[in-house]
Structure 1
Amino acid sequence: MVRPGLARSSPVARPAPCRRVAVVVRASAGSKAGVKDALGQLRQGLAGKPTVDPAYLNGATYLKTIGFTNQAEVARVLDIAMNPDSLFLSYGDGRRTKNASARKLDVDADMKPVIDFLLERGVSVGDVVKIVSGHPPVLSYSVPDRLGPFWDYMTSIGVANVGAAVVGRPSLLGLDVDANLRKIVEYLQYTETPPETIVQYICKSI
Protein backbone atom coordinates (compact mmCIF):
# COMPACT_ATOMS: atom_id res chain seq x y z
CA MET A 1 0.00 0.00 0.00
CA VAL A 2 1.22 3.45 -0.96
CA ARG A 3 0.56 6.30 1.42
CA PRO A 4 -1.29 9.30 -0.06
CA GLY A 5 1.01 12.05 -1.36
CA LEU A 6 3.89 9.74 -2.01
CA ALA A 7 4.55 8.56 -5.56
CA ARG A 8 5.95 5.17 -6.14
CA SER A 9 9.45 5.70 -7.50
CA SER A 10 10.88 3.37 -10.05
CA PRO A 11 14.26 1.92 -9.22
CA VAL A 12 17.12 3.90 -10.74
CA ALA A 13 20.31 2.14 -11.68
CA ARG A 14 23.19 3.85 -9.94
CA PRO A 15 26.57 3.83 -11.66
CA ALA A 16 29.21 1.83 -9.92
CA PRO A 17 31.56 4.05 -7.94
CA CYS A 18 34.69 4.80 -9.89
CA ARG A 19 38.10 5.89 -8.81
CA ARG A 20 39.33 9.26 -9.88
CA VAL A 21 42.79 8.81 -11.30
CA ALA A 22 45.04 11.82 -11.31
CA VAL A 23 48.00 11.75 -13.64
CA VAL A 24 50.67 14.25 -12.77
CA VAL A 25 53.22 15.00 -15.44
CA ARG A 26 56.26 16.86 -14.28
CA ALA A 27 57.82 18.92 -17.03
CA SER A 28 61.22 20.50 -17.03
CA ALA A 29 60.98 24.05 -15.71
CA GLY A 30 63.48 25.13 -18.30
CA SER A 31 61.85 23.67 -21.39
CA LYS A 32 59.14 25.50 -23.26
CA ALA A 33 58.01 22.23 -24.79
CA GLY A 34 58.47 20.35 -21.51
CA VAL A 35 54.78 19.62 -20.91
CA LYS A 36 54.23 18.49 -24.49
CA ASP A 37 57.32 16.29 -24.37
CA ALA A 38 56.29 14.82 -21.03
CA LEU A 39 52.81 14.02 -22.34
CA GLY A 40 54.36 12.40 -25.38
CA GLN A 41 56.58 10.29 -23.17
CA LEU A 42 53.56 9.35 -21.06
CA ARG A 43 51.69 8.17 -24.15
CA GLN A 44 54.71 6.19 -25.26
CA GLY A 45 54.97 4.66 -21.82
CA LEU A 46 51.31 3.65 -21.84
CA ALA A 47 51.84 2.09 -25.27
CA GLY A 48 54.72 0.06 -23.91
CA LYS A 49 57.37 2.04 -25.78
CA PRO A 50 60.61 3.47 -24.34
CA THR A 51 59.96 6.71 -22.45
CA VAL A 52 63.48 8.15 -22.54
CA ASP A 53 64.89 9.79 -25.66
CA PRO A 54 68.09 7.87 -26.48
CA ALA A 55 69.88 11.09 -27.47
CA TYR A 56 69.38 12.51 -23.96
CA LEU A 57 70.10 9.22 -22.25
CA ASN A 58 73.36 8.68 -24.16
CA GLY A 59 74.33 12.33 -23.75
CA ALA A 60 73.81 12.17 -19.99
CA THR A 61 75.88 9.02 -19.73
CA TYR A 62 78.70 10.61 -21.71
CA LEU A 63 78.72 13.86 -19.71
CA LYS A 64 79.08 11.85 -16.52
CA THR A 65 82.20 10.18 -17.93
CA ILE A 66 83.91 13.55 -18.36
CA GLY A 67 83.17 14.80 -14.87
CA PHE A 68 79.57 15.96 -14.57
CA THR A 69 78.02 14.71 -11.34
CA ASN A 70 74.85 16.76 -10.81
CA GLN A 71 71.86 15.27 -12.62
CA ALA A 72 70.00 18.59 -12.75
CA GLU A 73 73.03 20.27 -14.31
CA VAL A 74 73.30 17.48 -16.89
CA ALA A 75 69.63 17.97 -17.77
CA ARG A 76 70.13 21.74 -18.13
CA VAL A 77 73.18 21.35 -20.37
CA LEU A 78 71.49 18.81 -22.62
CA ASP A 79 68.29 20.84 -22.86
CA ILE A 80 70.21 23.91 -24.04
CA ALA A 81 72.36 21.91 -26.45
CA MET A 82 69.50 19.91 -27.98
CA ASN A 83 66.29 21.91 -27.52
CA PRO A 84 65.99 25.03 -29.73
CA ASP A 85 63.15 26.27 -27.49
CA SER A 86 65.01 25.80 -24.21
CA LEU A 87 64.13 28.38 -21.60
CA PHE A 88 67.34 27.81 -19.68
CA LEU A 89 69.37 29.91 -22.10
CA SER A 90 69.19 33.64 -21.40
CA TYR A 91 71.23 36.78 -21.16
CA GLY A 92 72.26 38.16 -17.79
CA ASP A 93 69.60 40.87 -17.99
CA GLY A 94 66.82 38.34 -18.35
CA ARG A 95 66.35 38.51 -22.13
CA ARG A 96 65.63 35.20 -23.76
CA THR A 97 67.75 33.85 -26.56
CA LYS A 98 68.06 30.60 -28.46
CA ASN A 99 70.76 28.17 -29.45
CA ALA A 100 70.48 28.25 -33.23
CA SER A 101 72.60 25.09 -33.46
CA ALA A 102 70.42 23.07 -31.08
CA ARG A 103 69.46 19.65 -32.38
CA LYS A 104 69.44 16.03 -31.25
CA LEU A 105 73.11 15.27 -30.72
CA ASP A 106 74.96 12.02 -31.24
CA VAL A 107 77.71 11.36 -28.71
CA ASP A 108 80.28 10.04 -31.20
CA ALA A 109 79.46 12.34 -34.11
CA ASP A 110 78.77 15.59 -32.24
CA MET A 111 79.68 15.73 -28.56
CA LYS A 112 82.89 13.73 -28.39
CA PRO A 113 84.66 15.71 -31.18
CA VAL A 114 83.99 18.94 -29.25
CA ILE A 115 85.40 17.55 -26.01
CA ASP A 116 88.40 16.03 -27.80
CA PHE A 117 89.07 19.35 -29.53
CA LEU A 118 89.17 21.22 -26.22
CA LEU A 119 91.43 18.61 -24.65
CA GLU A 120 93.78 18.71 -27.64
CA ARG A 121 94.03 22.48 -27.23
CA GLY A 122 95.41 22.01 -23.74
CA VAL A 123 92.23 22.51 -21.73
CA SER A 124 92.15 20.27 -18.65
CA VAL A 125 89.27 17.87 -18.06
CA GLY A 126 88.06 19.94 -15.13
CA ASP A 127 88.11 23.11 -17.22
CA VAL A 128 86.29 21.35 -20.06
CA VAL A 129 83.45 20.73 -17.62
CA LYS A 130 83.50 24.43 -16.69
CA ILE A 131 83.34 25.44 -20.36
CA VAL A 132 80.48 23.09 -21.22
CA SER A 133 78.57 24.06 -18.10
CA GLY A 134 79.16 27.76 -18.74
CA HIS A 135 78.24 27.56 -22.44
CA PRO A 136 76.25 24.37 -23.22
CA PRO A 137 75.66 25.31 -26.89
CA VAL A 138 79.32 24.44 -27.50
CA LEU A 139 78.27 20.78 -27.61
CA SER A 140 76.28 21.50 -30.77
CA TYR A 141 79.06 23.43 -32.56
CA SER A 142 80.96 22.02 -35.52
CA VAL A 143 84.67 21.65 -34.82
CA PRO A 144 85.89 22.34 -38.39
CA ASP A 145 83.31 25.02 -39.18
CA ARG A 146 83.17 26.93 -35.91
CA LEU A 147 85.48 25.94 -33.07
CA GLY A 148 88.62 25.57 -35.20
CA PRO A 149 88.20 28.94 -36.96
CA PHE A 150 87.38 30.61 -33.63
CA TRP A 151 90.55 29.29 -32.01
CA ASP A 152 92.70 30.29 -34.98
CA TYR A 153 91.22 33.78 -35.21
CA MET A 154 91.61 34.46 -31.50
CA THR A 155 95.27 33.46 -31.80
CA SER A 156 95.72 35.69 -34.85
CA ILE A 157 94.56 38.82 -33.00
CA GLY A 158 97.02 38.24 -30.18
CA VAL A 159 95.23 36.10 -27.58
CA ALA A 160 98.18 34.21 -26.06
CA ASN A 161 96.15 31.46 -24.38
CA VAL A 162 92.77 30.96 -26.01
CA GLY A 163 91.94 28.05 -23.71
CA ALA A 164 92.45 30.15 -20.59
CA ALA A 165 90.36 32.95 -22.08
CA VAL A 166 87.51 30.55 -22.82
CA VAL A 167 87.66 28.96 -19.38
CA GLY A 168 87.46 32.44 -17.87
CA ARG A 169 84.54 33.42 -20.12
CA PRO A 170 82.87 30.40 -21.77
CA SER A 171 80.36 32.72 -23.46
CA LEU A 172 83.17 33.79 -25.80
CA LEU A 173 82.44 30.62 -27.73
CA GLY A 174 79.10 32.16 -28.64
CA LEU A 175 80.97 34.52 -30.97
CA ASP A 176 81.09 33.27 -34.54
CA VAL A 177 84.14 34.49 -36.49
CA ASP A 178 82.32 35.39 -39.68
CA ALA A 179 78.99 36.40 -38.16
CA ASN A 180 80.22 38.87 -35.54
CA LEU A 181 83.71 38.43 -34.05
CA ARG A 182 85.64 39.60 -37.11
CA LYS A 183 83.35 42.61 -37.52
CA ILE A 184 83.89 43.65 -33.91
CA VAL A 185 87.66 43.37 -34.19
CA GLU A 186 87.80 45.19 -37.52
CA TYR A 187 85.72 48.05 -36.12
CA LEU A 188 88.07 48.38 -33.17
CA GLN A 189 91.04 48.33 -35.52
CA TYR A 190 89.38 50.99 -37.67
CA THR A 191 89.03 53.23 -34.61
CA GLU A 192 92.78 52.70 -33.99
CA THR A 193 92.26 50.78 -30.79
CA PRO A 194 95.62 49.30 -29.67
CA PRO A 195 95.92 45.52 -30.26
CA GLU A 196 96.37 44.76 -26.56
CA THR A 197 93.23 46.75 -25.77
CA ILE A 198 91.30 44.83 -28.40
CA VAL A 199 92.38 41.55 -26.83
CA GLN A 200 91.40 42.78 -23.38
CA TYR A 201 88.05 43.97 -24.65
CA ILE A 202 87.29 40.72 -26.46
CA CYS A 203 88.35 38.51 -23.56
CA LYS A 204 86.89 40.46 -20.66
CA SER A 205 84.19 42.86 -21.74
CA ILE A 206 82.30 41.71 -24.81
Structure 2
Amino acid sequence: MNPNSLQRSFRSRKRTGISVARTLTVEGDIQPVLNYLASLGLTKRQIIKVISAHPPVLCYSPEQRLKPFFDILRNAGIPDPVKTMVQRPSMLGIEPDQGLRRIIGYLRESGQSPDAIAELLATSI
Protein backbone atom coordinates (compact mmCIF):
# COMPACT_ATOMS: atom_id res chain seq x y z
CA MET A 1 0.00 0.00 0.00
CA ASN A 2 1.25 3.46 -0.80
CA PRO A 3 2.33 4.98 2.54
CA ASN A 4 1.27 8.44 1.38
CA SER A 5 -2.20 7.42 0.26
CA LEU A 6 -3.97 6.87 3.55
CA GLN A 7 -1.76 8.10 6.33
CA ARG A 8 1.08 10.48 6.90
CA SER A 9 3.49 10.52 9.80
CA PHE A 10 5.03 13.40 11.63
CA ARG A 11 7.53 13.67 14.42
CA SER A 12 6.62 14.61 17.96
CA ARG A 13 8.99 15.22 20.85
CA LYS A 14 6.90 12.88 23.02
CA ARG A 15 6.63 10.03 20.52
CA THR A 16 8.83 8.74 17.75
CA GLY A 17 6.07 8.89 15.14
CA ILE A 18 2.37 9.59 15.06
CA SER A 19 0.12 8.61 12.18
CA VAL A 20 -2.92 10.62 11.22
CA ALA A 21 -5.34 9.98 8.42
CA ARG A 22 -5.22 12.44 5.56
CA THR A 23 -8.40 14.20 4.57
CA LEU A 24 -10.07 12.83 1.46
CA THR A 25 -12.13 14.96 -0.87
CA VAL A 26 -15.11 13.64 -2.77
CA GLU A 27 -14.14 15.32 -6.04
CA GLY A 28 -10.41 14.71 -5.88
CA ASP A 29 -10.15 11.29 -4.25
CA ILE A 30 -13.39 9.36 -3.98
CA GLN A 31 -15.30 10.21 -7.16
CA PRO A 32 -12.47 9.23 -9.56
CA VAL A 33 -12.25 5.82 -7.87
CA LEU A 34 -16.02 5.33 -8.04
CA ASN A 35 -16.04 6.36 -11.70
CA TYR A 36 -13.20 3.99 -12.54
CA LEU A 37 -14.85 1.05 -10.79
CA ALA A 38 -18.12 1.81 -12.59
CA SER A 39 -16.24 2.00 -15.91
CA LEU A 40 -15.07 -1.56 -15.29
CA GLY A 41 -18.70 -2.63 -15.23
CA LEU A 42 -19.20 -2.99 -11.49
CA THR A 43 -22.72 -2.45 -10.21
CA LYS A 44 -23.39 -0.11 -7.30
CA ARG A 45 -23.81 -3.13 -5.05
CA GLN A 46 -20.42 -4.52 -6.13
CA ILE A 47 -18.74 -1.14 -5.62
CA ILE A 48 -20.17 -0.98 -2.10
CA LYS A 49 -18.92 -4.52 -1.45
CA VAL A 50 -15.41 -3.61 -2.65
CA ILE A 51 -15.27 -0.44 -0.55
CA SER A 52 -16.67 -2.19 2.53
CA ALA A 53 -14.17 -5.02 2.25
CA HIS A 54 -11.17 -2.81 1.39
CA PRO A 55 -11.72 0.86 2.36
CA PRO A 56 -8.20 2.01 1.37
CA VAL A 57 -9.33 1.65 -2.25
CA LEU A 58 -10.85 5.13 -1.87
CA CYS A 59 -7.32 6.53 -1.57
CA TYR A 60 -5.92 4.82 -4.65
CA SER A 61 -5.27 6.70 -7.85
CA PRO A 62 -7.18 5.12 -10.73
CA GLU A 63 -4.35 5.91 -13.18
CA GLN A 64 -1.39 5.09 -10.96
CA ARG A 65 -2.73 2.16 -8.94
CA LEU A 66 -6.00 0.65 -10.19
CA LYS A 67 -5.41 0.66 -13.95
CA PRO A 68 -1.94 -0.97 -13.65
CA PHE A 69 -3.43 -3.53 -11.27
CA PHE A 70 -6.05 -4.64 -13.79
CA ASP A 71 -3.60 -4.42 -16.69
CA ILE A 72 -1.30 -6.91 -14.92
CA LEU A 73 -4.21 -9.29 -14.36
CA ARG A 74 -5.32 -9.01 -17.99
CA ASN A 75 -1.77 -9.50 -19.29
CA ALA A 76 -1.48 -12.62 -17.15
CA GLY A 77 -4.44 -14.07 -19.01
CA ILE A 78 -6.87 -13.92 -16.09
CA PRO A 79 -10.23 -14.55 -17.78
CA ASP A 80 -12.25 -12.00 -15.78
CA PRO A 81 -10.03 -9.79 -13.60
CA VAL A 82 -12.95 -7.71 -12.35
CA LYS A 83 -14.85 -10.79 -11.16
CA THR A 84 -11.69 -12.05 -9.44
CA MET A 85 -11.25 -8.72 -7.64
CA VAL A 86 -14.92 -8.57 -6.59
CA GLN A 87 -14.55 -12.05 -5.06
CA ARG A 88 -11.54 -10.87 -3.04
CA PRO A 89 -11.39 -7.04 -2.80
CA SER A 90 -8.51 -7.18 -0.32
CA MET A 91 -6.20 -8.18 -3.17
CA LEU A 92 -6.33 -4.52 -4.25
CA GLY A 93 -3.97 -3.93 -1.34
CA ILE A 94 -1.17 -5.69 -3.21
CA GLU A 95 1.23 -3.28 -4.91
CA PRO A 96 0.79 -3.93 -8.64
CA ASP A 97 4.43 -3.82 -9.76
CA GLN A 98 6.20 -5.03 -6.66
CA GLY A 99 3.76 -7.62 -5.34
CA LEU A 100 1.14 -8.70 -7.85
CA ARG A 101 3.57 -9.12 -10.73
CA ARG A 102 5.83 -11.29 -8.54
CA ILE A 103 2.97 -13.43 -7.26
CA ILE A 104 1.64 -14.06 -10.76
CA GLY A 105 5.17 -14.75 -12.04
CA TYR A 106 5.72 -17.32 -9.32
CA LEU A 107 2.39 -19.01 -9.99
CA ARG A 108 3.13 -19.12 -13.74
CA GLU A 109 6.57 -20.64 -13.11
CA SER A 110 5.00 -23.29 -10.91
CA GLY A 111 2.82 -24.33 -13.86
CA GLN A 112 -0.51 -22.78 -12.86
CA SER A 113 -2.98 -21.94 -15.63
CA PRO A 114 -4.55 -18.46 -15.83
CA ASP A 115 -7.82 -19.93 -14.49
CA ALA A 116 -5.99 -21.51 -11.56
CA ILE A 117 -4.14 -18.24 -10.88
CA ALA A 118 -7.46 -16.38 -10.85
CA GLU A 119 -8.90 -18.92 -8.42
CA LEU A 120 -5.87 -18.68 -6.13
CA LEU A 121 -5.98 -14.88 -6.16
CA ALA A 122 -9.71 -14.88 -5.40
CA THR A 123 -9.51 -17.37 -2.56
CA SER A 124 -6.03 -17.33 -1.05
CA ILE A 125 -4.73 -13.79 -1.01
Instruction: Name the one with the larger strand percent.
Output: 2
Larger mean CA deviation between 160-169 and 107-116 belongs to: 160-169
Structure 1 residues 82, 185: closer, same or farther in 2, change over 3 A?
closer
Tell which structure's C-alpha radius of gyration is larger: 1
1:114 partner letter: V
Matched, 1:112 2:31: yes
C-alpha distance 164-199 of structure 1, shift in aligned 2 (>3 A): closer
Greater RCO structure (CA 8 Å; 6+ sep): 2
Unaligned runs of 5+ in 1: 1-80, 86-101
Tell me the equivalent position of 2:22.
Answer: 103
Q: Residue 65 of structure 2 is aligned with which of 121, 146, 153? A: 146
- The answer (yes or no) to whether the contact 2:94–2:100 under 8 Å persists in 1 is yes
Q: Report the Cα offset of residue 158 of structure 1.
A: 2.3
Q: What is residue 85 of structure 2 aligned with on the other side?
A: 166
- Equivalents in 1 of 2:110, 2:50: separation in Å? 32
Contact 1:157 1:199 in 2 (8 A): no
> Separation in 2 of the partners of 1:195 and 1:159?
5
* Counterpart position of 1:129: 48
Count residues in correspondence: 111
Q: Which runs of 4+ in 1 moved over 6 A?
A: none
Query: What CA distance in whole angstroms lies between the structure 1 residues aligned with 2:63 and 2:44?
Result: 21
Whether the 8 Å CA contact 2:78–2:117 is kept in 1: the answer is no
The 3-state SS of whatever aligns with 1:180 is helix
Root mean square deviation, CA, Å: 2.2
Tell me, what secondary structure is at the counterpart of 2:36? helix
- The TM-score with structure 2 as length reference comes to 0.78
Q: Indicate which of 109, 121, 125 corresponds to 1:202.
A: 121
The answer (yes or no) to whether the contact 1:114–1:139 under 8 Å persists in 2 is yes
Q: Distance in 2 between matches of 1:143 and 1:169?
A: 18
- In structure 2, stretches of 5+ residues that fail to align are 10-20
Q: AA paired with 1:170? A: P
